[in-house]
Chain A
Amino acid sequence: MTTHLTARNAVVVAMIAFLMLVPVYAATTGNTFMMTLFTRIIILAIAAVSLNLIMGFGGMVSFGHAAYLGIGGYVVGILAKEGIDSGFVQWPLAIALSGLFALGVGALSLRTRGVYFIMITLAFAQVVYYVANGLDRYGGDDGLTIQRRSEFGGLINLSNRTFFYYLCLALLLATVYLVWRMVNSRFGMAIQGARSNERRMNAIGFPTFRYKLICFVIAGLICGLAGVLLANHTNFISPQLMHWTRSGDLIVMAVLGGMGSVFGPVIGAVALLVLEETLPHLIGLVTHVFTGKEIAAAKEYWQLILGPMLLLIVLFARGGIDGLIARSRNG
C-alpha cells in the first residue's frame, strides 16, 4: 500500500501530531483542563473507532455500544472496591467480559436487521444499565468512586497524567492501525461485502453470520478497553457511563467524523467534544458582537445549537468531516 500526500492523509498526520503535542502545550501553559479534556476525547475516540468498525464497515448500526464502556468500567470499579487493584487481573477480565457480552448480544441480534437490529442492541444495553442501577453495593444509581487506579506491579504508573495520556494515545493509534489492517484484509472485505449484499456473499460461500459475529465481538473487546481507560481516567463509574444517550453520542462521533474511513471517528470525537466545550464561548462571542456585551445566560443553552447542527449534518454532510476533506481534493 503506497501512501500519497492527499488532503485526507495530511489531516490524519496533523491530527496525530496535534494529539501528541497536547501534553507539551499543557505542561508549558499549566493548562491541566486541556489534558483532562483530551484524555477523555482520546478514550471516547477508541470507542467510536470500534463502533465504526461494525457500523461503518459492517453496516451493523449498534445503538448499545456504550454498554461495553460500562462493562469495562464496572469490572475495574468492582474489582477495585473488592481490593483487587492489579491491572493484570482487571484489564483482561474487563475486556474478556465485554467480548463475552458482545458474543451473546451479537448471536441474538445479528439474526435481525435494520431497525430491529438498532433496537435490540439498544435493549441489551438497557439491561446492563438497569443491572448497574441495581448494584447497591457498588453505588446503585449514584455511582462508585474508584480509590486507586489500576496497578501494574510498579512497572507503570497510571496516576501520572502525562504517562496516562500517552498510554491512551498509543492504544488509540494501535486500535486505528488494527482496524485499518482488519478492514483491508480478506476478513474486512468479506464484512464489507456482507454490508452491501449479504445474500450474494452467502451464495458465493461466505458464512456471513459468523464473520459479522466475530467483527461484532472484536468491536466489543476494543470498546471494553475504552471503558477500562475511562474508569481509570475519571476514577468514577456510574450507570450514566452507559446511558443510551451515550451510545447516541458515539454514533454521532462516527458519523460526524465520517464512517467511510478508519480515522474518521477520531476526527469526529475531537470535533464533537471540542465543539461541546467551545460552543458556549462561541455563543458568548456572538452575543458580544450583536449586543455589545456577553449574555452569560445564552451560553448555557449551547445544546440548542448542537441539536439542529446534528440534523443539518445528517441532511447535508453525509460523509462527515472526512467526506468533506476527501471531496475538497477532488472538487
Chain B
Amino acid sequence: MLYLIEQSLNGIQLGMLLFLLAAGLTLIFGIMDLVNLAHGSLYMLGAYFAATLIEVTDSFVLGIALGIVATLVAGMVMEMIAIRPLYGRDHLDHVLGTFGLLIFFNELVRLIWGPAGLTISLPPEMLTAVQVLPGVFYPLYRLVIILSTLAVGLLLYVLVMRTRIGMLIRAGASNREMVGALGVNIKLLYTLVFGLGAALAGFAGMIQAPLAFVQIGMGENILILAFVVIIIGGIGSIRGAFVAAVLVGLIDTMGRAFLPDLVRAFLSYSAGSSAGPALSSMLIYALMAAVLVFRPEGLFPASNK
C-alpha cells in the first residue's frame, strides 16, 4: 500500500513534467499550427543553462529563475530566426526544418559544454523526505516539483483565460488574419507564445535535471512522450494536455513498478525485469492508438479549432 502511494506520487510527478513540455507544444501547435521537434532541445537547453547558472550564482533558486529567463530569450531568438519562415508551410516541412534545428542544438551544446554531461546537485535542505500521510515518507524535492508545476499550470491557465494577452493568444488561434487586421502585432504575439513554450520546456528540463543527468539528447525521448500526451489530450487543448500528462505519467510509472512482478508471475524472473519497462512503454502507445481510433480528435478537443 505504501509502495502504491509512493509510486502514484512518482507517476504524478512524471505527469507534471510531461505537462510542462506538452503545454508548450500544444500552445505552439494550437496557435501557430507548428509541429516543433526542437521542443526537446529547449528542454535540454534549459537544463544546461540552469546547471551553469546555479554554478555561477551558487544559488539553486536564483539559478533556476535566471535559467527560465535564459530559455525564454533563447526560444524567442530561435523563433525570430528559424521558426518564423516555417509558419504556413505544411507539416512535413515543419518536421524536417525543426529536425535540422534539433541536430544543430545537440551539436551546439556539445561545442559549448562538451560531450560529457553535467549534474545539478540539490541544496541540502531539499534532500530530506517529508511525511505526506501518516507513515508515508516522500522525498521533499519531488513534492516541490509537483507543487511548483501545479502552480505554473495554474498561472498558465490564468494567463490564457483571464488576461488580455491570453485573450489575444486565443483570438490568434481562432483567426489569425482578423486579429492582425484589428491592429494586433501578430508576429510579436507568436514570438511571445513560442518564448512561453520554450520557458515551460526549459523549466521542465531544469527541475528534472537533479533527479537525472544533464546530457545531450536528453530531450528527445521525453519529447516523443510529450507528443503522445498532446495527441491523447487533443492538440491545442491545455486542459487535455494536463489530464493526458497525468494519465501517461501514472501509466508509465505504475507499469514500471508493477508489470515486472506481473510478468514474473507467469514467466521467469529475468523476463520480468526486461519485459516490464518495455511493456509499460507499450501500454502508453497502445492507449494513444486506442484514443486515435475511437476519438481521433483526442479526449478534450480544443473547442476553438
Binding site for B on A (CB under 8 A): 55, 61, 63, 108-109, 111-112, 114-116, 118-120, 122-124, 126-127, 130-131, 133-136, 140, 244-245, 248, 251-252, 255, 301, 303-304, 306-311, 313-315
Which of B57-65, B101-109, B175-183 lines the interface with chain A?
Answer: B101-109
Contact of A304 among B111, B231, B274 (CB under 8 A): B111
When distances are taken between beta carbons in the complex, the residues of chain A under 8 Å from B100 are 306-311, 314
Residue of B nearest to A316 (CB): B85
B208-233 interface bits toward A, Cβ cutoff 8 Å, 1 = contact, 0 = none:
00000000000010001001100100
A255 vs B91: C-alpha distance when bound (angstroms): 13
Whether B274 lies near A135 (C-beta < 8 A) is yes
Choose from A55, A122, A134 the contact partner of B275 (Cβ within 8 Å): A134
A17–B154 CA distance with the chains assembled, in angstroms: 63
B294 → chain A closest CB, angstroms: 10
**Closest Cβ–Cβ distance, residue A133 to chain B (whole Å):** 6
Whether B97 and A310, one on each chain, are in contact in the complex, defined by CB atoms closer than 8 angstroms, is yes
Known contacts: A123-B288, A248-B99. The answer to whether A301 contacts B92 by CB under 8 A is no
Contact residue among B96, B106, B273, B288 (Cβ-Cβ distance under 8 Å from A251): B96
Q: Contacts A301-B110, A306-B103 given: A131-B278 contact, CB under 8 Å?
A: yes
Q: Are B91 and A61 in contact (CB under 8 A)?
A: yes
Q: Which residues of B contact A63 (CB under 8 A)?
A: 95
Whether B302 is near chain A, meaning CB under 8 Å from some CB there, is no
Q: How far is the CA of A73 from the CA of B182 in the complex (A)?
A: 57
Residue of B86, B108, B282, B288 near A314 (CB, 8 A) is B86
B156 touches A (CB below 8 Å)? no
* Choice from B96, B106, B281 contacting A252 with Cβ under 8 Å: B96
Do B107 and A307 have beta carbons less than 8 Å apart?
A: yes
Q: Does B296 contact A (CB under 8 A)?
A: yes
Question: 21 A–B contact pairs at CB < 8 A?
Answer: A61-B92, A109-B292, A115-B35, A116-B235, A120-B288, A123-B227, A123-B228, A123-B285, A124-B289, A127-B285, A127-B286, A248-B95, A251-B96, A301-B111, A307-B101, A307-B102, A307-B103, A308-B82, A310-B103, A314-B97, A315-B86
Q: Would A126 and B296 be within 8 Å (CB), given that A114-B91, A303-B103, A306-B103 are in contact?
A: no
Compute how far the CA of A311 lies from the CA of B86 in the bound complex, rounded to whole angstroms: 9
B93 and A111 form a contact (CB under 8 A):
no
* A105–B97 alpha-carbon span in the complex (Å): 26
Tell whether B304 is near chain A: CB-to-CB under 8 Å: no
Instruction: Verify B282–A122 contact, CB threshold 8 A.
Output: no
Whether B166 is near chain A, meaning CB under 8 Å from some CB there, is: no
B56 is an interface residue with CB less than 8 A from chain A: no
Task: State the Cβ distance, B235 to closest chain A Cβ, in Å.
Answer: 7
Q: Nearest chain-A residue to B89 (Cβ)?
A: A314
Instruction: Give every chain B residue within 8 A of A133 (Cβ-Cβ).
Output: 277-278
11 more CB-based (< 8 A) A-B contacts, given A120-B288, A133-B277: A108-B293, A116-B296, A123-B227, A124-B285, A248-B99, A301-B110, A307-B104, A310-B100, A310-B103, A311-B82, A314-B100
Interface string of B257-284 (1 = CB under 8 A from A): 0000000000000100111011101100
Please determine whether B274 and A134 come into contact, CB atoms closer than 8 angstroms: yes
Determine if B108 and A304 form an interchain contact, defined as CB atoms under 8 angstroms apart.
Answer: yes
The interface residues of chain B lying within 8 Å CB-to-CB of A124 are 285, 289
Chain B residues whose CB sits within 8 angstroms of the CB of A126 once the complex forms: 224, 281, 285
B29 at the interface (CB under 8 A from A): yes
Question: Which residues of B are at the interface with A, using a C-beta cutoff of 8 A?
Answer: 29, 35, 37, 82, 85-86, 89, 91-93, 95-97, 99-108, 110-111, 220, 224, 227-228, 231, 235, 270, 273-275, 277-279, 281-282, 285-286, 288-289, 292-293, 296
Let me know if B227 and A119 touch, CB within 8 A.
yes
Give the CA-CA distance A309 to B96 in the complex, in Å: 11
Cα separation A306 to B101 with both chains bound (whole Å): 9
Complex Cα distance, B110 from A304, in Å, reads: 10
Judging by beta carbons under 8 Å apart, are B292 and A120 in contact?
A: yes
| Cβ-defined contact, B107 with A111, below 8 A | no
User: Which of A116, A248, A307, A313 lies in contact with B292, CB distance below 8 A?
Assistant: A116
Given A109-B292, A127-B282, answer yes or no on A119-B103 (Cβ-Cβ < 8 Å).
Answer: no
Q: Which residues of A are found within 8 Å of B89, using beta-carbon distances?
A: 314
Q: What is the bound-complex CA distance between A90 and B218, given in angstroms?
A: 36
Partner of B231, one of A116, A127, A251: A116
Question: Across the interface, do B270 and A136 meet the contact criterion of CB distance under 8 Å?
Answer: yes
The reply to whether A136 and B95 contact each other, CB–CB distance below 8 Å, is no
B82 touches A120 (CB 8 A): no
Collect the chain B residues with CB atoms within 8 Å of residue A123's CB: 224, 227-228, 231, 285, 288-289
| Cβ distance A243 to chain B, nearest Cβ, rounded Å | 9
| A70 to B293 CA separation, bound complex (whole angstroms) | 25
Which one of A127, A130, A255, A303 lies within 8 Å of B104 (CB-CB)? Answer: A303
Q: How far is the CA of A313 from the CA of B108 in the complex (A)?
A: 20
Q: Is the CB of B99 within 8 A of A310?
A: yes
Q: Which 4 A-B pairs have the closest CB atoms?
A: A134-B278, A307-B104, A310-B100, A307-B103
* Interchain CA distance A254-B99 in the complex, whole Å: 14
Please determine whether A130 and B278 come into contact, CB atoms closer than 8 angstroms: yes
The closest CB in chain B to the CB of A61 belongs to B92
Contact pick for A310, options B96, B273, B278, B282, CB 8 Å: B96
Instruction: State whether A308 touches B104 (Cβ < 8 A).
Output: yes
User: Closest approach, in angstroms, between the C-beta of B172 and any C-beta of chain A?
Assistant: 19
Please tell me which one of the listed residues A130, A244, A252, A311 contacts residue B220 in the complex, with CB atoms under 8 A apart: A244
Chain B residues within an 8 Å CB radius of A118: 35, 91-92, 95
